Amino acid sequence: MPIHSRSFQAFTVSGIPEVHPGDSLIQHVTTALEQAGEQLHNGDIVVVAQKIVSKAEGRYLELSDVQPGMEALDWAEKTGKDPRLVQAILDESACVLRWRPNLLVVEHLRGWVMANAGADQSNIVGADGNRVLLLPKDPDASAKNLRLGLEAHFGVRIGVVVADSVGRAWRVGTVGLALGASGVRTVDDIRGKLDMQGRELKVSIVGTGDEIAAAANMLIGEAAEGTPVAVLRGLNLLDDNQIGADLVRPSADDLFR
C-alpha cells in the first residue's frame, strides 16, 4: 500500500487588540480575520490563547483584596511566595502535589496538574505585582461559545481549542495544552488498529487536542509576540462528541502522584 504525504497549514491572526473584561472575542477574531482578507473554512481549527479568554471573562484577582489563611501562610513560608498569591492558588486547587522554593505544583479544581494553578502575572496591563489572572472557569464552555459565534458569522463548521502553556514532569520546557475544546477530536483511541507490520495496538491513545494546542503554540508564542489566535487548516479533526475535559486523566489512574 503506498504511503501518501500529508500536510496542514497554520497561521496566526494578526490585529487582535489588548483584550479587556467584557470584550467579545468573537468580534475581535472576526474583525481581525476580515481586515487581513481571511475567511474561516470548513474544517478549520481556531486555537485561542487562554490568557485572552481569561481577560475577556474578567478573571482578574486583586491581591490587595485577598486575606491569606493559615494554610496559605504555611505554604508561603516554605516556598517564599507572596501569601496572598498562595491563597489565590489554593482557592483554585483541589490539593498541593509537590513544591519547591517559589513553586507549588497543584491539582487544579478542574483536574489539570500544573504550576501555581495557572495563576499568572505576565502580560497583564497595570498589574504592578498586585493583579493576578486566573484560568477560565469553564474553558470547554468558552470554546463552545466562541465556536458557535464564529460558525454563525462565517457560515462554516469549525473547531475551537483554548490553549495554555504548561510544563511537564521529566521534560524541560513548556508546551501547549488544550484546556478547553469544542467541535474538535481531543482524544483518539487507536487501540485495536494495526501497525505497519500488522500487529494490533494494545494501549495507544493519542492526545490529539494537546497536539493541536502545541502545534498552534509554535506560532502563538510565549512572550511579546502579540498573536494570541492561530488557525490550523487541513487536519480533518472535527468531532462534536469530545471536549477538553476528556484529556484529563482521573487521579485514580495516575501512577505518579
pLDDT, one tens digit per residue, over 65-75 is 999 999 999 99
Which long-range contacts does 97-103 make (Cβ < 8 Å, 24+ apart)? 97/257, 99/75, 103/79
CA angle 107, 109, 48 (to 5 degrees): 95
**Of how many residues is the chain composed?**
257
Q: Which three cell numbers stand for residue 47?
A: 486555537
What share of the chain in percent tops pLDDT 70?
Answer: 93
Question: Are the C-beta atoms of 28 and 53 separated by less than 8 Å?
Answer: no
b/e 113-139 (16+ beta carbons within 10 angstroms → b): bbbbbbbbbebbeebeebebbbbbebb
**Could you give the CA distance from residue 65 to residue 87 in angstroms, rounded to a whole number?**
11
pLDDT at 223: 61
Per-residue pLDDT tens digits for 47-88: 999 999 999 999 999 999 999 999 999 999 999 999 999 999
- Judge residue 101's burial from the number of C-beta atoms within 10 Å of its C-beta, 0-12 exposed, 13-18 middle, 19 or more buried: exposed
Angle of helix 139-154 versus helix 25-35 axis, rounded to 10: 40
- Judge residue 221's burial from the number of C-beta atoms within 10 Å of its C-beta, 0-12 exposed, 13-18 middle, 19 or more buried: middle
What share of the chain in percent tops pLDDT 90?
Answer: 76
Question: Are the C-beta atoms of 52 and 123 separated by less than 8 Å?
Answer: no
**Could you give the CA distance from residue 193 to residue 200 in angstroms, rounded to a whole number?**
6
Stretches in the chain below the pLDDT threshold 50 = none
